[in-house]
Every structure is written in C-alpha cells, then in structure tokens.
Structure 1
Amino acid sequence: MESLSFPVDLSDLQTKLNPLFQSILALPAVQSAKPSSTADGVAVLLLLLSALGYLTHGRVWDRPDPHHGIWFERPQLADGASSGRVAATRDVAQKLTEGDYHCVIFWGSQSGTSERFAETLGRECLSHFGISALVADISDYDSESISKIQSKHLAIFILSTYGEGDPSDNTAGLWDWIKQVKDKKTRVENLRYLAFGLGNSNYKYYNRVLDVVADALDNAGANALMPRQKADDANGGTEEDFQVWKDDLFALFRKLGFEQKTVEYQPTIELTFSGETNSEDSNPATSLIHQQTSTQSAIVPLTIKSAHELFAAGDRNCIHMELDLGNQDIVYKTGDHIGIWPCNPEEEIKRLLNVLGAQARMHEYFSVKSDNDSVKPKVPSLTTLEAAFRYHLEICAPVARKTVQEIAQFAPTPEAKAKLLEIGQNRERYEQLTSNTHITLARLLQLASPTEQWTSLPLAFVIENLLPLQPRYYSISSSSVIAPRRIAITALVVNKTIGDKSTSTIHGLTSNYLLSASDVTSNATVPTPSYQRMNQGQRLQGSKVLAHVRKSKFKLPITSSTPLVLISAGTGFAPFRAFLQERTKLHVIGKPVGKILLFFGCRNKDDFIYQEELNKIQGELGYKLKIVTAFSRDGPKTYVQDRVGEYAAEVLELLDAGANMYICGKASMAREVDMKMEDAVSKAKSLGETEVKAWADSLKKRGKWKADVWG
C-alpha cells in the first residue's frame, strides 16, 4: 500500500497558523470567556477547529482536482494520438474547408423529422452525385460563421416550425443571428443556399421560420439557387413534399454539372440471427427506445382501473379511461400530457410476416449493428421480428413514394417490378392510389405481387425504411390535486374511411388500441383491429398499457381568484375537466374563485362529453361558471369559434380584468379563434393590425393566452 503524502509541509503550516491562534487567544472576548464548565470548553475548542478548517480548505482537504474539467469534455474532442487534444471548431466555414465538403445541410428539428430528412439527403448526395455533405445540427456551430461560407460551397437549410410560429429549440442561435441580418448588420453576398420548411397549414404561422430565415438571407444579398419550398403536414403530405423538393434539388445538381449515378442498395445496418428462438415477445416495458429527460418520465406499465363510453349514441366511440399510478416512480401535474405507447394490430403483423416469407424466423433472436454510430437505433440490439413489428416499427404507416421506387429492385417477378415503378415514378399515379387505398408496406407488397412472397427483400431494408413507432399524446383529463395517483384519458376513437367504403379504412392506431384494452364495445360500422394485451388472457381488471408523462406549460394560474376563459372542441375539453375539478374543490373549501367562461363545441348533444359532470360542477360553482355550447350538426351549424365571436365583448372584458385564456382542440379551430379575438379587439379599441398583433403577443408572452392544439 502506498504511503500518503500531503501537498504542503505540515511544519510550515503550523508556523503559519501559530500567529493566528495567538491572535485569537489574545482577543478580549476570548480572554473574558474563560471556560467555567465542560460545555464552555467544548465551545472554545469548536471555534478553534472551525478556524483551522476554514484556513486549510483547498490546501490540506477538499483540494480541487486539476483534471476535473476532463469529465465535461466531449469524448469526440479527445485525440488518442500523441499529438494531443484538437478542439472541434464551431466555425462552419472553416469546417467545410478543412473537411473538403461540397455543402452543408443544416437542420432545425423539434420532433426529429427535419433531422431525419437531413441525414437522408446527406447520404443520397454522396451516393447519387459524389457530393460530400456536412449534416449539421445548427446549434453545433456559431451562426455568425454562416456569413463566411465561400461561394464554392452550398448551404441547405431544412427548418421546422411549431407552436406559435416558433423555431425548434436547436435553432435558437440561428434565430438570434437572423435578427442581426434583418437589422442589416450582416451581409452574406457569397452565400449560395437552398431552403425547405416543415409545417402545418392548419396553424396560423404556417412555415414562419422558413420564411423569416429565407427573407432575411435574400435581403442580405444571399443567392437562393431554387425557390424555397414548404412541406404541409395538414393532410400528412410531409414525406411526399420532401420527395418533390428533393427531385427538384437533384435536377439542380445535374444542371450544376454533377453526374448522377445509378445506386445499388447498400445497407447501413447489419442483422445477425442467433438461431435461438423464443415463443414469447420481449418485454416491451424494458426494450422500448425512449429518452427520459427533465420533461419526460420513464416508460412504465400502468394498470387500467376503469373505462367507459362517453358518447350517448352514434357510430363513434369516445373512451374515458383511468390509469392507476400505483407505486410507480412517476408523478404528474394538472395540464400535463400522457404518452401512450401502442402496439401494432395482429392482422398487420401477420400480413407483413407472411408477405416477407419470414414466418419461420419470427421468434428467432437477432442483433442489429450499424455502420454509423450517429444513426439512432429503431429496434433493441437483441429482439425478434415479431417483437420489432409489434412494438418498435410503424408498420401501419403509408409508404413514401421514394420507398416504392426503391423496393422495385427486389421484386420477385418482372411484373411486380414494373407495377411498383409505375406507381413510384408517377406522382399522379401514386397520389391516386394512396387517396383511395390505405397502403402500408405489407399491403403494397401484396398489391404488387399477390401470389409470390418477397424473400429477396432484405430485412435490413425493411427496418431501415420503416419509421420507429412513436407514442401518441393525450391531454390528461384528471386533476393531480383531486387524484394524484390516477391519470384520466379522454380518447376519440378514429376510423377514417378513404375512397369507396368497401376499399379501405385507416384505423387510428392508439385510439383503437385503447378501445381494445378498455373492453368497451365498438360502435364502428367497419371491423376494428385486434391487439395483443400485455397480460394476455385477462379481462379489463389488471390489464395494463405502457405510458410516460410529459410536462406541459398548459397550467392554471397560481391564484385561484384569476378569471378563466376556456375554449374547447371535442376531446379538447379534456384538460378543462381537470381545471374545473380543481377550481370546484377550492370553491367548496372556501377559497376565492374567479369567474369562468367555458366554450365547448361538438357535433350534437349525443357527443356532449362529461355533460352530467358539468351539470354537477355548475351546481357547485353557480354564477361563477358560465357554459356556452356550439353544435355543428344539431340545428343551425355553429362552431365554437362562432360562439367566441358572439361573446367576444365578454371575453375581452375578462381579459382586461386579468383573466387567463386557454384554447384546446384542433389547430384550425384555434387559428379561427385567434382571428375572431383579433378582429374583436381591433373594433373595440380601434387598433391597427400591428397594434392588434402586439396586444395578442403581449398576452401570450405573459402566459395569459395559452394554446394546446394538434394538427
């Protein structure tokens, strides 16, 4: 055992401390406080020890580690060679030159779609044209260095817009720099760029981030080599819009002199089957790929305690389900979201396994190895095909046109290949097919080759081209104050018929999964999918679903006397049920409660969810609660935004009195509510367009106007 050594000479330290001790002992307070008891003696001793500890801190004990900073360095910055460490540059222009890149592809992404598009484009630039592309998270570089990019390089921006026209979190630095560019503090005459935006036209500020960035660059002298293009996810068109833009981009590359190559499929992952089989699925609770963060809890299995139907009649279902948190290490707050992790329906799993000719290997374990460490895994490192298709991959999603073209090379017959190329290379033919038929991967393969199995289609290709299965989020409809260990979900079961009714129905994956788990009888006129339960063979009691909680900013004000304006349509009422429960409880125990103006819209009175509960709450709150309803299919067609317009004066009065306004429901409804309110305040206060926008923005920035909406 090595002997201990001190970093300072103790005799030297004693020499330095002696004068201090003598000074302390010479103090009148110390001399007059001669110990008269054991307790006094201990007190003096503790005083001296405290002084000693203070003076020796950092010298004898708790010395700072000179190598402490290494723990916070990025591993990729370390160079194992003898040359020492090389700091990674945040100057993108320097990076392009040093790495001999042709172009940079910047991505700004909130949900991961822009990032995926950028990575795909980077690979295809190299494989199709030999163009070396730097795929860059914008936050990894100083945005000011964009102005130094040379004209021999190209800059491609793939930017998403979400919420109230907001940029993604990783685009904050770019957003700040763009403000400088707009203020004419920066010029970018050498910059040659292209831009593609992701957004949803149901939202008020559709693709605002793309427009703000592109306008600023144009005004600062940049050269846009192609008109900006926008993806619109309002009708699920993002994938096709990206493909069309990419086709135009590749045409531009050809004009610039780059030769396009014929590319053979090269897998980016390697599957290795072990030969070991298991008839049981892997445990999805431990194998789902999910990043636990400060805003998202871990995934846990939650027990269904109860479930019942909310609609009084009709051919649709709306499920109220209660999940028990039990002893799980998970909490929620009123207004949060719950992410439900569904599994794929049995019919689609069997269809895909059969058409691939993979039934014999469905229970065989395989591992996945990627040739690129930056590629995020879609399935666990050890799983089975059945588990991958059930829990991890979106096998019910429509197939992109690009994928249709690429699958053709693996067709089992010349006829199947010709059919796929006809669909994949002709946009009109593809759109005609997908508008009338729900084309999943398995159904596409069956359509192209009804009799032959696709045994030549690599399973690696299948996994690469299927998207990872994602959770679906629901606003929690229970109050954490009233029911802290129980989460309520309000879920409309979606079954969308496309084309002829006999042709195809798109079943909402998670809503039908919850319906199946609830034991509520389906009201649909079409057959509903069947799902495997986590505890197969049991009835509702004890059945579980996998879920995690996501924090939300959609919160009640701290002061209960603050008035509320609640605007909702359909299941958008879910968080307001929790808000009302909480306010009612406070009122019952004698706390002051502000006035509440509730707007609720639905098709007809049979769809009036939680009507009995609302009547009871109305009885408790009395004049404190005013309910305004709108029925679009019962009497004169009236939507909730119409009713907001009718009561705009009362809404404005409440807002002027300090009320908080909340909107929950479809984005298109929220957009029209915004228009109604802006029109009302313009007329009531004689404000111009700029002043109206400033009024609305002020309320939103102060948290007085909140929206929780979906596409």
Structure 2
Amino acid sequence: MAGGDEIATEQMKDEPLLGLLDVALLAAILCAGAWWLFRGKRKSEPPSAAKSYTIQPTALATQSTETSFIKKLKTSGRSLVVFYGSQTGTGEEFAGRLAKEGIRYRLKGMVADPEECDMEELTALKEIPNSLAVFCLATYGEGDPTDNAMEFYEWLQSGDGDLSGLNYAVFGLGNKTYEHYNEVGKYVDKRLEELGATRVFELGLGDDDANIEEDFITWKDRFWPVVCEYFGIEATGEDVSVRQYRLTEHTDANLDRVYTGEMARLHSLKNQRPPFDAKNPFLSKIKVNRELHKTGDRSCMHIEFDIENSKMRYETGDHLAVYPQNNTELVNRLGELLSVDLDTVITLTNTDEESTKKHPFPCPCSYRTALSHYLDITSNPRTHVLKEIIEYTQDPKDQELLRLMSSNSVEGKQKYTQWIIQDNRNIVHILEDLPSCKPALDHLCELLPRLQARYYSISSSPKVHPDTVHITAVLVQYETPTKRTNKGVATTWLAAKQPAGGDDERCVAPIYIRRSQFRLPTRPQVPIIMIGPGTGLAPFRGFIQERNQLREEGKPVGETILYFGCRKKSEDFIYEEELTEYVNNGTLKMHVAFSRDQKEKVYVTHLLEQNKDELWRVIGENNGNLYVCGDARNMARDVHNIIEKVVQEKGGMTESQAATYVKKMEAQKRYSADVWS
C-alpha cells in the first residue's frame, strides 16, 4: 500500500557525521575555497534584491538530546512552537512553514517533534509571554495517530494534564476517502480544550484526496490575522523567505565519510546490525521477481525479499516498507537543466542552532545521492517552492506565472490546481517548461520534501514463509496531460531488479517491517470474509496461507471466504492456480468477479449484493470477522454501505441500529480495513 499522509511513513533524524577534529580540519581547508567557489557560481545567477542570506562553511553541530522545548523557547527568545505528527513528511513540512512565517508576526517560531519532547511541559508554556502552540497532526489507518505522535496522543487520553493558560490551534491532515477522516486532529483539538487550554483559532482540516495544499493555505491565511488580533500584534512586513540551511561544498571530501543513501548511521547499509527499522533498514536480497499478469499491457509483480538471518519478524497482515531510489534519468535531467556537477559533495547545516534537526537529510553527501535517495523530485511541488524559485527566474512571463500560482488569490489557486496538480508537473517538468528558471540546486535541496518509504501489504504468512517477505505490486506508469510519461518511483525501481541467480548485488532493497492492526482472529475457528479486488488480495494471500497451514496441522479452522475481482480471467486473475488449489483442498471458498468478461460489468460489490445471506450468516449469526483491502475512494465505501444494508435487512434492525452494530464490529476488530486512496 502507498498513499498520502494518512497511511505512509515518517522521516528520520540525521546523526552527526564528523568528529570535532574532522570538522576543524575540514573547516580550515575548505573555508576559503568552498566559499569563493560558491560566490563565483552565484555571479551568473539572477540577482535578488528582496532577499539576503548567508552561505558559508560551517562545523556540523552535535545532535541535541535536550527534551525540554520550554528551555529552548526561553533561551532563544521564541514564543511559537509548532508540533507535527507526520507519516509522509507533509505534516512536518506544514509545521516548518508556519514556524517560518511566525517571523512576520513577531512570533519567532520553532518546529518540534512530540516524540522528542517532554510534552507534559505544555502545562508550563503559559510562562512565556504571547506563547502559542500549534499542532499539525496527520491521521492514518483507522483513525490512528502517526508513530511520532503516539505517546503525546496517549498522554492526552490519560487526562493528567492541566492545560489552563495554554494557547493553541490545530491543523489536521487527513483523507476524506477514509471513514475516520482527520480523527486525530479532531480529537486533539477537542481534548486540549477539555483540559483547560484556549483555542486561538478554529480547527483546520486538510483533505489529501482533494487539494491539501489549498486547504492549508486557506486555513493559515485566516489563522494569522486572528492570532495577531488575539495577541495585539501587527505583521512586520518582513520577507520571510530566508534560507534555513547554510551550504558547504566539499572540494576535497573524504569519501569514506560521505553518505551514499543511508537513512541515519553512516555505512549502515554495509555494516548491517539489528534491530532494523525506519532509521536502520535491512538491505534485503530480492529472491523472486515475477510477473503475475498473464497478458495485457499492464504489469503486476510478485516480489520476495530475503530476511533470513536478519532477526526480522513479521505477522500476517503487516506492511513492508521499501526505501526506493528516484529514476536515474530524471536525476540526471535535473543536473542538466541546472548545469550542476551532481557528484559535488555538499553539507546543508541548519542556521537555527536550537533546532534538533541539523540537516535536511544525511550530510555530507553528493547532489546525486541527495536527489536519488533523499529528495522527492516526482511529486507536485507546493506553492512555497514556487514562490522561492521566482528569484532565480529571468523571463518576466515565467516570473508572473510562478508569482500567480504561489499567491493566495482565487485566480492563483485555480492556476496552481490546473498547471501543477491537474497537469501533474513535478519540479523537472516545471524547469523544462520555464527555461529561464535556474534555481541554485542547494536551495532546491532545501525546499523539496523528503523521499519517503513506500508501504506494501505483506502477501505471505510467516508460518509458511518465515525467511522471506512477499509483496504484490502493480507497476505504475501513465501519461500526463502534457504528454509526458510519469512512472511510479518504487515500482519502476523494483521492476528493474530481476535476480539472475547467485549473489547479484544490484538486486537488493532497504526494507523494514511496519506493524499493522490488520490481524486474523486469535481463534482460528472464527469464520472470516475477505474482500479484496486487484492487489487488495495481497494480505489475504497471507491469511489464506496461514489458515491452510493450520488445517494441515489438524487444527479446527472456520470458514475462509474470499471475494476477489479483476478485469479478465485470462489477463489479471493473479495467483489463480494457488487460489484454485486452496479451493480444491477445502481451505477456501471463493467468489470472483470479472468486470470485463461479459457485456455487463460485474464487480465484487455485485457479488456481495447477491450473497447477503452468506454475509449475515458469518458476521451476524456466527460472530465472524470481515476484512476489506483495496481502494478507499469507491470500493471500500461501497462495501461499507452494503454491510450496513445487510445488517439492517437480515438482522431486522433500523438504519441507526445497523450503523451502531457495524461500529461495534469495528471497535471489536471484527471489521477491519486496509485501504488506500
């Protein structure tokens, strides 16, 4: 599975690289050379009268272990702290933008990760004059907080804090295709008030299924005037578009001390040691990569990752996180457009000495490494990126287009939606279509979001495959309105990894396991219904393997019923032979919908409508479990409506009673969804 901030991953914190002696020596050698080299490059760039910032060699600071954000606020003269709960990096990005804009309103801001802070100090924030805490919190899964916000969320639930005197505001990041839309933002906003805090501005709700950038801009444009009125302050009018990081170019770098794609610890991909997680992924060999589609122009891959001797363990229903690399051609194209030697080794160091995040990604590394491993160069750039690159643009028409799209006007928002979102332009496309725009690559590296891990539902059972993890992934490739071909970052990268036998070092991928709540019932005799068209079948393949294994061991196993759908039986009926074998040996009962094998299209939802008696027998009469995996926007929503209808009709309930019954199933983990938009 892969998707927006509701369901994806969190970025890591970078570790210091050089020791003090290394830094001192490096600074002494490079100070003059790197500085004057960079100044020479800047002379050929468009001038900027509106901004000024310092770029100079700097020693790499030590990672802070201080958890007192109150102390940091006091020592640095700040009054605004913006906390983020983020899985894909969007929440953190929005938090950074708010903290940065605070300068315009005499509220010097700081971004904070709640996982790294003593959140009980919120009770003491009132000691700082004009203090304000803002929370940019994403929801993912079934209304769950992000990993880094979990402890804070649980602390709020405990109800121990007296937050009277705390001024706050909340912006939630969610996706309306999910049933528990923005559940975390809504809860935190309500709970803070219950604990005595003062809501300075109304809750903001961002919808990643529509245009979360526009939602955020609309909210913050109304947020700042209210904040100014509340605290009795006025905007300074200062340009807040200042550089957050200082550049050092290492002209004579020690390549043994340069990052080449590691997430945190230097050489972690060569010198592997458990435990393996988001900051320390396991470099797994790909043992199998085979095509599942029989014919047609689409591709679906079955990939098996070797985890033997890794001490990694997974459970049926968990997710596999894969750290991909950007397409080499796209990376090279960016270097060509900006006339930059991508093998130049750089360090970007935070100008805010109080920040715990010293670098935007592991440094030092080459531009090529940053663009390949650390930066998202394929997504649609947000408006603040467009605003920042105006100064590097020479053609007045190009400048005006960027200025319009980065503005808050109705016309500007419409143009951004059409030219960036609907036309699906990434940063490379923008630079190709605006040839007079030549931003400094280090500035672009500062602005672009982090490349995130991609998540896939594991399609195997550890009881059957303890030493491998399987995933099922559709190769993403499509044409945009500008007649360009966009390719999925991870699936394109994985598709090229075809093991040729032996120890092929190229067929490896950094991975880790993310735990899931998508679980088989603890008692195997409980009957289950699984609904998963297309690659929604993935986790259910693991479920079926596990139930089959239990049967072979002579244990009692309840009914195992699968509803699967695809286009054509002869084309994309994935795992057909395997599923047929399970049907023949009595493990599985299967209903299959082939949408295009007849004149009238037939989908999984049609089969569910036809089998209401079976559905009620399992979930109503026998207290069985129901699972849904696949598209959240249409399929999962339609299934939910059908289930409520079945409960109402077959259970003899009112519409309200049926809805309550289904919600109780969800609370009891008898109705679970693993969906994406």
TM-score range, shorter chain: 0.7 to 0.9
Q: In the alignment, what sits opposite 2:205? A: 230
Q: How does 1:448-467 map to 2 (within 5 A)?
A: 448-449=434-435, 452=436, 454=438, 457-467=439-449
Q: Which residue of 2 aligns with 1:513?
A: 493
Cα deviations across residues 342-397 of structure 1 (Å, max 9, x unaligned)?
Answer: 111122111111122203xx223223322334226443222111111111111112
Q: 2:423 & 2:583 partners in 1: Cα distance?
A: 46
Q: Structure 1 residue aligned with 2:245, among 262, 269, 291?
A: 269
Match of 2:591 in 1: 628
Aligned twin of 2:312? 330
**Counterpart position of 1:160:** 138
Query: What root-mean-square deviation, in Å, do the aligned CA atoms of Structure 1 and Structure 2 show?
Result: 4.0
Q: 1:555 to 1:547 in 2, by over 3 A?
A: same
- 1:647 corresponds to: 611
Alignment match of 2:582 (pick from 610, 617, 638): 617
2:561 paired residue number: 597
- In the TM superposition, 1:11-30 aligns within 5 A as none
Residue 350 of structure 1 pairs with residue 332 of structure 2: yes
Query: Measured at CA, do residues 511 and 205 of structure 1 come closer, stay the same or move farther in structure 2, by a change above 3 Å?
Result: same
Does the 8 Å CA contact 1:631/1:638 hold for their aligned counterparts? yes
Structure 1 residues 101-116: aligned runs within 5 Å:
103-116=80-93
Match of 2:176 in 1: 201
Q: 1:663 to 1:693 in 2, by over 3 A?
A: same
Cα separation, 2, equivalents of 1:151 and 1:518? 60
Separation (CA, whole Å) in 1 of partners of 2:399 and 2:506:
48
State the shift of 1:472 in Å. 0.5
Q: What is aligned with 1:61?
A: none
C-alpha distance in 1 between matches for 2:557 and 2:483: 53
Note the alpha carbon deviations across 1:130-174, whole angstroms, 9 max, x for none: 223465556733498499799965554433222223444636656
2:630 aligned partner: 665
Deviation at 1:198, TM superposition (A): 0.8
Is the alpha carbon distance of 1:282 and 1:144 closer, same or farther for their aligned partners in structure 2, counting shifts above 3 Å? Answer: closer
The partner residue of 2:261 within 269, 275, 284 is 284
| 1:84 paired residue number | none
* Residues 1:314 and 2:296 aligned together: yes
Deviation at 1:222, TM superposition (A): 8.3
Which amino acid in the other structure matches residue 563 of structure 1?
P
Indicate the residue corresponding to 1:371 in structure 2.
Answer: 351
1:401 equivalent in structure 2: 383
Q: Is the 8 A contact 1:277 1:363 kept in 2?
A: no
Residues in 1 aligned to 2:217 and 2:638: alpha-carbon distance in whole angstroms: 31
Q: Which amino acid aligns with 1:141?
A: M
Task: State the partner residue of 2:99.
Answer: 122
Equivalent residue, structure 1, for 2:59: none
SS of match in other structure, 1:368: strand
Q: Which 5+ residue runs of structure 1 have no aligned equivalent? A: 1-73, 78-87, 520-534
Corresponding position of 2:7: none
Structure 1 628/218 Cα, relative in aligned 2: closer, same or farther at 3 Å?
same
Cα distance between partner residues in 2 of 1:629 and 1:540 = 38
Assess, with a 3 A threshold, how the Cα gap between structure 1 residues 547 and 295 changes in structure 2: closer, same or farther: closer
Which residue identity is paired with 1:489? I
Pick aligned residue for 1:131 from 94, 97, 107: 107
For residue 386 of structure 1, the aligned residue among 365, 368, 385 is 368
Q: Deviations over 1:469-509 (max 9, x none)?
A: 1111111212222222222221111223332xx62333211
Q: Note the alpha carbon deviations across 1:267-314, whole angstroms, 9 max, x for none.
A: 222222221379999643576899987876942232222322212232
Q: Which region of structure 1 is more displaced relative to structure 2, 334-343 or 211-220?
A: 211-220
8 Å contact 1:192–1:222 — kept in the other structure?
yes
Range that drifts further, 276-285 or 646-655? 276-285
**Corresponding residue number in structure 1 for 2:511:** 547
Q: Secondary structure at the match of 2:66?
A: helix
Residue 66 of structure 2 is matched in structure 1 by 76
In structure 2, what is the Cα distance between the partners aligned to 1:230 and 1:312?
A: 43
> 2: CA distance between counterparts of 1:104 and 1:269?
19
Aligned: 1:240 with 2:249: no
Q: Describe the SS at the equivalent of 2:647.
A: helix
Whole-angstrom distance in 2 between the partners of 1:178 and 1:148: 21
Alpha-carbon separation, structure 1, partners of 2:153 and 2:611: 41
Q: Secondary structure at the match of 2:479?
A: strand
Judged with a 3 Å threshold, the aligned counterparts in structure 2 of structure 1 residues 294 and 620 are, in CA distance, closer, same or farther, namely same
Contact 2:263 2:279 in 1 (8 A): no
Q: Hey, what's the Cα distance between the residues in 2 that align with 1:275 and 1:327?
A: 40
Task: Report what 2:413 is aligned to.
Answer: 427
Offset, 1:445:
2.2
SS at match of 2:368: helix
CA distance in structure 1 between the aligned counterparts of 2:236 and 2:156, rounded to whole angstroms: 35
The whole-number CA distance in structure 2 between the counterparts of 1:123 and 1:293 is: 36
Q: Secondary structure at the match of 2:626?
A: strand
Distance in 2 separating the partners of 1:513 and 1:705: 35
| Farther off after superposition, 326-335 or 664-673 | 326-335
Q: What amino acid sits opposite 2:511 in the alignment?
A: A
Query: Gaps spanning 5+ residues in structure 2: where?
Result: 1-63
- Counterparts in 2 of 1:461 and 1:214: CA distance versus 1, 3 Å: same
Separation in structure 2 between the aligned mates of residue 149 and residue 312 of structure 1, nearest angstrom? 67
Contact 1:150–1:191, Cα closer than 8 Å, also in 2: no
Distance across 1 between alignment mates of 2:274 and 2:222: 39
Q: One-letter code of the match for 1:678?
A: E
Distance 1:430 1:292, change over 3 A: farther
Q: CA deviation at 1:701?
A: 3.5
Aligned-residue sequence identity (percent) comes to 30
Separation in structure 1 between the aligned mates of residue 262 and residue 76 of structure 2, nearest angstrom: 42
Query: For the Cα contact (< 8 Å) 2:276–2:312, is it kept in 1?
Result: no
Q: Which amino acid aligns with 1:703?
A: K
Matches of 1:377 and 1:152, distance apart in 2: 29
Per-residue CA distance 1:547-603 (angstroms, 9 max, x = gap): 222233323334432322111121010111122122223323433222111111223
Kindly provide the amino acid, as one letter, of the partner of residue 616 in structure 1: E
Aligned partners of 1:698, 1:589: CA distance in 2, in Å? 33
Q: What is the CA–CA distance in structure 2 between the aligned matches of 1:369 and 1:98, rounded to whole Å? A: 20
Aligned residue in 2 for 1:702: 668
Q: Distance in 2 between matches of 1:380 and 1:143?
A: 30
Larger Rg: 1
The answer (yes or no) to whether the contact 1:276–1:364 under 8 Å persists in 2 is no
Give 1:101 deviation, angstroms: 5.5
1:627 to 1:369, Cα distance in 2 relative to 1, 3 A: same
Q: Is the 8 A contact 1:482 1:582 kept in 2?
A: yes
Q: Aligned partner of 2:333: which letter? A: R
Aligned CA distance change for structure 1 residues 632 and 540 (closer, same or farther; 3 Å): farther
For residues 228 and 453 of structure 1, what CA distance do their matches in structure 2 show?
37
Paired residues of 2:321 and 2:513 also in contact (CA < 8 A): yes
Residue of structure 2 equivalent to 1:69: none
